[in-house]
Amino acid sequence: MGKVVLQGYLGAAGYDFTYPAIGVTASGRGVIGFTATGDTVNPSAAFAPIDAIVGVGPWNVINGGTGAAQDDGFTSYKSQVGNPPRTRWGDYGAAAVDDNSVWLASEYIANPCTYTNWGGPFFLGGSGDNLLGTCGGASHGPGARAALGNWSTRISQLTP
């Protein structure tokens, strides 16, 4: 049966850590996965080590998980999220232990997209595919994002 050995918190001035998920291996070592946002970082997939003896260590952005842009607010329409509008962001975080590794799922912004490019050929000055909102390229293939949100899921395997 599990038990709480240490208690504490993780925070940093100028940053917000949203929707954490904790995975701890049988050895008592693990990671906390979350989305890091703040004054100097776009929404990024991040983690902090956690240990049953020493507690939580310093946080870092996961390799390849650095956010490419700010949240663009395309999902803040009153009709979709109510009044006052609240951007649909930070809905999930997940962790799963696999032997000595921890798999994390964190939200981050993988691809930038301007409003003009979001509109594609339907907006003055826009280009790309005819799939409104996907920020697709000139090849008419799938775009880099969903039409109504610019976040992505970063799946990472860490071995604490």
Q: Are the C-beta atoms of residues 107 and 153 closer than 8 Å to each other? A: yes
Cite the DSSP H helix spans in 69-148: 78-81, 115-119
Q: What is the pLDDT of residues 98-139, one digit of tens each?
A: 999 999 999 999 988 777 777 777 777 766 655 677 776 666
Across 146-160, average pLDDT: 86
Give 59's pLDDT tier (boundaries 50, 70, 90): very high
Per-domain residue ranges for the chain?
15-110+145-158, 113-143
Retrieve residue 110's tokens: 């993988």
**Which tens digit of pLDDT belongs to each residue from 1-34?**
777 767 778 999 999 999 999 999 999 999 999 9
Alpha-carbon distance of 12 to 37, in angstroms, equals: 11
> pLDDT higher for 52 or 145?
52
Averaged confidence pLDDT in the chain: 84
What's the pLDDT tens digit per position in 61-83? 999 999 998 877 666 667 667 78
**Whole-number pLDDT of residue 7:** 77
DSSP of 60-81: EEPTT----S----TT--HHHH
CB 98, CB 84: distance < 8 Å: no
**Three-state DSSP class for 117?**
helix
Mean pLDDT confidence for 137-154: 73
* Element counts in the chain: helices (H) and strands (E): 2, 8
